[in-house]
Amino acid sequence: MITSSEYRDRRIRVISDLGEGALILPSNPESTMSNDVDYKYRQHSDLLYLSGYPEPGTTAVIEKSGEEIVFHLFVLPRDPLYETWNGRRYGVEGAKQHFNADFSHINTELNDLLPKILKKHETVFYPQGENADTDEIVNQSIRKARKMTDKTGKGPYRVVNPHPTIHKYRATKSEAEIQLLRKSIRISADAHTRAMKVTKPGISEYQIEAIINYEFRKSGALRPAYETIVAGGINGTILHYTENKNDLEKGELILVDAGAEYANYSADITRTWPVGGKYSKEQKNIYSLVLDVQKRCIEKVRPGENLKDLNDLAVKLITKGLIDLGLLQGDLETLIKEDKHRRFFMHKVGHWLGIDVHDVSDIDRGEKFKPGFCFTIEPGIYIPDEEDVPKTYRGIAVRIEDDILVTETGYEVLSIGVVKEIEDIEAIVGIENLP
Ligand SMILES: [Mn+2]
């Protein structure tokens, strides 16, 4: 659990780093699924990181003037009728009591109050271009604030994107965050294990998806952190296959990419196992290559390394492995230079992980690892069903993905709860029945 004092410390660190001014963070808009039915709501990750406030219709404003830091929350008001239909709200009182707002206001007051707040500042920290509605309110407020300050010559004249600074802090996970990541990843690893155990020829992709998502909810996770991918056979060559509608056949591999979202923190795990319980020779060749590449990338993890270099290593090892298996022909260095691996390995070897499954997008892949960084390592090989590929390899798709935490001296694999060695997988596939 993230305590209210941790949230306060985060706000102080971020606004102190940004400097004098006012930071404005709007919530994500709600999103319609059909008619008057919305998708389950997900708060904006930066707003979550700095406040924990879960509701839509929210705007956080954090002001810094000299030593003084003031935290405003503009929130949906309490409304008994609405709450009877659609669920509880914290309201203005709750925003103060549970979320440490210095001032809390009903969100309809934003139009009036924001110009009065902004007129005191020269810099507005605001992520323009993400949300048309709040862009309009913020732009209008800046105009009004400038009018109010015409005579003094001060007031807001500069808008700065706060994301890079917020993401810099989000990149390093605190002890409390690591605990939540562990929990989310543990739940996900258990779900993968269960899915392996119930896999048998004749079961469908959607039934495996149901098992995965059942295990998530059973353990208190709110939802999958992204659409669960259950891809049998050739479907595994579609990177984001989420239709999950086919029956699984003996002789095929099944690729499952699934992670839970628990207390706002995301897991991201992929395993690939044989539907019939035994890998074929060719499947084993590809699987062993991907596993070897994954382990060699993980072994390199320590403070000072970076994702870009790990990706270069994966590209080199996969290209070499594909030459050895006869899937690529030519000189290793030339093939690497010409990116020939991209026909079979078209994504990067990993990404940051945290509140978002693809976390802190403003942190460059060349950023040097620090203790507390968390990311995935997920090499894959996807062989298309095409004429010039050896027949026995066509349609084989393997990805193996673990979640890695950087420690003071090296790394910890957070997703060790689900096996990945060939013998260990073959020992458990199909040993249980579907409930
Ligand atoms: Mn991933």
In tens digits, the chain (435 residues) has pLDDT values of 999 999 999 999 999 999 999 999 999 999 999 998 999 999 999 999 999 999 999 999 999 999 999 999 999 999 999 999 989 999 999 999 999 999 999 999 999 999 999 999 999 999 999 999 999 999 999 999 998 887 666 789 899 999 999 999 999 999 999 999 999 999 999 999 999 999 999 999 999 999 999 999 999 999 999 999 999 999 999 999 999 999 999 999 999 999 999 999 999 999 999 999 999 999 999 999 999 999 999 999 999 999 999 999 999 999 999 999 999 999 999 999 999 999 999 999 999 999 999 999 889 999 999 999 999 999 999 999 999 999 999 999 999 999 999 999 999 999 999 999 999 999 999 999 988
Domains by residue range for the chain, with CATH = 4-169 (3.40.350.10), 172-428 (3.90.230.10)
How many angstroms separate the CA atoms of 428 and 426, rounded? 6
Alpha carbon of residue 379 to chain centroid: 17
CA of residue 386 to ligand 1 center, whole Å: 26
Give this prediction's pTM: 0.96
Q: Which distant-in-sequence residues (6+ apart) come within 8 Å of 222 by Cβ?
A: 40, 261, 262, 263
CA of residue 352 to ligand 1 center, whole Å: 9
- Catalytic machinery residues: 36, 240, 257, 268, 347, 351, 358, 378, 382, 399, 401
The three-state (H, E, C) secondary structure of 6-66, written as one string: HHHHHHHHHHHHHCCEEEEEECCCCCEEECCEECCCCCCHHHHHHHCCCCCCCEEEEEEEC
Q: HSE-up of 271 (CA within 13 Å, CB side)?
A: 29
CA of residue 347 to ligand 1 center, whole Å: 10
